[in-house]
Structure 1
Amino acid sequence: MQQFENASAGDIVLSIADRIIENRAYLSEIDGKIGDGDHGVNMAKGFGMAADRIRGNDMSLATAFDTLGTVLMTEIGGSMGPLYGVMFTQFAETIEKSAAIDARTFSAMLSNGLDGIQSIGAAKVGDKTLLDTLVPAIEAFDAANADGKPFPEALDALVVAAEEGRDSTRDLVAKIGRASRLGERSVGVLDAGATSCALILKALALGAKQKLLMSATAGR
């Protein structure tokens, strides 16, 4: 079975944080076109604070997700903190009792994260939000699993769908948040939340693939 150890995978969250911090200016630039312009700043602040608490502590993936989620929910401003915070907290709760993460557990983790977001927000696919990235990514991952694809290939499918979902927001009218006030004028610009979500999912998938490769190599 293709799986990786929960206990040794906390550094995946550090990789996610690195990608967000690297794209701080880009995310704020996108957000500034139809929003407050602070998405990159707030995200980089929260992910950076969490990374400082994770680094050097040899955390499990579950504990690292919980650390990140708690910081995002309680210590940064903006509308995205609670949304991403609950997503990562749900990720943590899903896998906290799993010694190893396989494709089935990974799928449950993603789905519960989505449920968490939807429990506190009213957005749906097509509203020009992070859900336009997250929902098709989960659907693609689950479809690949249902087709019997190996775990790494399902992760590849997740990334492709996430980036296609991100790109789809360019042609959508914003229905949620400050950008919704612009109506049709919000068309032609990527959604900042959908963009950060694609960065997060790609870093998560790459980190998981690396752990799977290490696990397979160690098992030979």
Structure 2
Amino acid sequence: MAVSLEQWKKMFLAAADLLLENAENLSRTDAVIGDGDHGITMTKIANLIKEKAAKDYIKTPDFFEDLGWGTVNVQGGSAGPLFGTFITGMQEAKEDASVADVLECALKELQGMSNAKIGEKTMMDALIPAVEAMKNAESDEEALELGAKAAAKGAEDTADYIAKYGRAKNYGEKSIGVKDAGACSMALIFEGLRQGYYR
């Protein structure tokens, strides 16, 4: 892969730091139309990232696989399986893949599990626009900048949508005005990957 194993570790560690910093906000957001425990689950995932990044791996896909399956098994609603599937999908990228290609593989893997589309108030509202934006980039740096920006906007936009999945869907139109916690977490991950690239 174009980005080294050590670089990917730094990128994920930066994402973990952002998730930990924002854990309380994520739970607060989730509490309005969900279970209120999303920040707790993302804290577990962030701590797992730190644990796995400290290990030695022969190849980058080995890191993605170990972290991904570890995340799938994190207890706390659907976040673990969803974010874990996203990470395991990264290992499907070719050895010389760009960052954009790696994240496109992650999206495809997740789409095998979730049918959610843009506008349905899920993590896909941040992920799909981010991956689409990255395709237009001419470098990994530009891809990460574009991806982080698109993911952040996608997460913000979820406040305008009616929830179609999870507990939030029971709120119907009352879910308008509240951002989706999963999309916010995805946006934080993209911002972390961007920041970590420069470490």
Same fold (TM over 0.5): yes
Task: Give the conservation status (yes or no) of the 8 Å contact 1:50–1:67.
Answer: no
Quote the residue 2:119 is aligned against.
Answer: 126
Quote the residue 2:129 is aligned against.
Answer: 136
Quote the residue 1:152 is aligned against.
Answer: 141
Q: How far did residue 61 of structure 1 move?
A: 4.3
Map 1:10-159 onto structure 2 (within 5 A): 10-55=9-54, 57-59=55-57, 61-94=60-93, 98=95, 105-143=98-136, 145=137, 149-159=138-148
Q: Which has the larger radius of gyration?
A: 1
Number of equivalent positions: 197
Query: In 1, Cα distance between the equivalents of 2:86 and 2:168?
Result: 22
Q: How far did residue 19 of structure 1 move?
A: 1.4
Query: In 1, Cα distance between the equivalents of 2:51 and 2:91?
Result: 18
Letter in 2 for 1:135: I
Percent sequence identity is: 37
Quote the residue 1:193 is aligned against.
Answer: 182
Q: How far did residue 186 of structure 1 move?
A: 0.1
Task: Give the conservation status (yes or no) of the 8 Å contact 2:12–2:49.
Answer: no
Q: How far did residue 119 of structure 1 move?
A: 0.9
Q: TM-score, structure 2 length as denominator? A: 0.90
Q: 1:54 to 1:163 in 2, by over 3 A?
A: same
Letter in 1 for 2:189: I
Q: 1:141 to 1:179 in 2, by over 3 A?
A: same
| CA RMSD across the alignment | 1.9
Stretches of structure 2 that go unaligned for 5 or more consecutive residues are none
Q: 1:63 to 1:12 in 2, by over 3 A?
A: farther
Q: 1:207 to 1:7 in 2, by over 3 A?
A: closer
Q: 1:8 to 1:207 in 2, by over 3 A?
A: closer
Quote the residue 1:215 is aligned against.
Answer: none
Stretches of structure 1 that go unaligned for 5 or more consecutive residues are 212-220
Larger mean CA deviation between 151-160 and 31-40 belongs to: 151-160
Q: 1:161 to 1:180 in 2, by over 3 A?
A: same
Quote the residue 1:218 is aligned against.
Answer: none
Map 1:201-220 onto structure 2 (within 5 A): 201-208=190-197, 210=198
Query: In 2, Cα distance between the equivalents of 1:160 and 1:83?
Result: 22
Q: How far did residue 7 of structure 1 move?
A: 5.0
